[in-house]
Chain A
């Protein structure tokens, strides 16, 4: 069955699993490397890509703009451009969650370093400074001291990129040394894990050495994860929940979910679930 293309720029464990899962289910999932592509929207492009594309680029912007071009010529992209756009930006994610009434950590955006310091004081210390775009916990800083915050903000502004002068500040959620990663595929939770922060680290990202353990989700957690996906128009995602003093909150939603930790900790064939979802999508 001719099914879909898989857009990638770095073949991770996940992409290889997706190809294996497609092969064993009879779905032709053609890998397309985004790096050498130069494309304009056209009927030829739509024909060469086919009706359905799975977006798996590790580079957020590469994936985002590639999805934009493909959608302009009628290719259905999973996840859609809108989802990648919203989920890829921490402020836009927080705003979409806020609008949908989904509990999320308190946050503020500030447009100068001075204003960001005030925002942190307003949210209370420690506070968390995050780049608007980025993943794997990179450059995410917990700050409990205003002079350190000032230095971090100066460094951030010195990077020169306009996005680094938009400061996203989040309340620090005092949680156990773990968070929850919920993998959602097509409106269904397929796997959930606790991610434990490695020793000497407060960030729980598996990419930072965090440890994964299976998690039995409460009805409330499942409902939150599914509502978050709906609010962000995302079909395949890794939803991060934190257990704070005020209950569960949705922290981030990852549209190109890395599911190695979740698959290995739970034994769930996440790649298979994604491929089966694509096969259903291909019929529609």
Chain B
């Protein structure tokens, strides 16, 4: 399991080994959702995921 630090609260976010760019992960401490946007040597980078909007759906 890869790890990333939660930019919001500093919690440790577990990221699956087979993660793909765009995958959504969440911080187990504060619950904030993040999107993995880069898979570099320094480990996966995450940014805050978009929150559900009114036009979201299927």
Contact = CB atoms under 8 A, between A and B. Distances in A.
Contact of B24 (A11, A35, A61, A88): A11
Contacts of B55: 59-62, 88, 133-134
A1 B49 CA distance: 32
B57 A58 contact: yes
B55 to A, nearest CB: 4
Interface string A1-44: 00000001111000110010000000000010101000000000
B58 A258 contact: yes
Interface in A125-163: 131, 133-136, 138-139
A238 interface: yes
B56 A59 contact: yes
A210 B53 CA distance: 21
A247 B22 CA distance: 43
Contacts of A136: 56-58
Q: Is the interface of A mostly helix, strand, loop or mixed?
A: loop
A256 interface: yes
A59 B35 CA distance: 16
Contacts of A131: 54
A58 to B, nearest CB: 5
B58 A254 contact: yes
Interface string B1-27: 000000000000000000011111000
Given A35-B50, A59-B53, A11 B20 contact: yes
A39 B30 CA distance: 36
A59 B52 CA distance: 9
Nearest to A16: B20
Given A10-B49, A10-B50, A19 B57 contact: no
A87 to B, nearest CB: 10
Given A8-B22, A11-B22, A31-B21, A134 B54 contact: yes
A135 B57 contact: yes
A31 B58 contact: no
User: Which interface residue of B35, B50, B56 has the most chain A CB atoms within 10 A?
Assistant: B56
A131 B21 CA distance: 33
Given A136-B56, A256-B57, A257-B58, A19 B50 contact: no
Interface string A243-284: 000000000001111100000000000000000000000000
A258 B54 CA distance: 17
B23 A16 contact: yes
A135 B20 contact: no
Nearest to A8: B22
Interface of B: 20-24, 35, 49-50, 53-58
Interface of A: 8-11, 15-16, 19, 31, 33, 35, 58-62, 88, 131, 133-136, 138-139, 238, 254-258
A-B pairs, top 8 by smallest CB distance, nearest first, are A135-B57, A11-B22, A60-B55, A254-B58, A258-B58, A256-B58, A58-B56, A61-B55
Given A10-B22, A11-B24, A133-B54, 12 more contacts: A9-B50, A11-B35, A33-B21, A59-B55, A60-B56, A60-B57, A135-B56, A138-B57, A139-B54, A254-B58, A256-B58, A257-B58
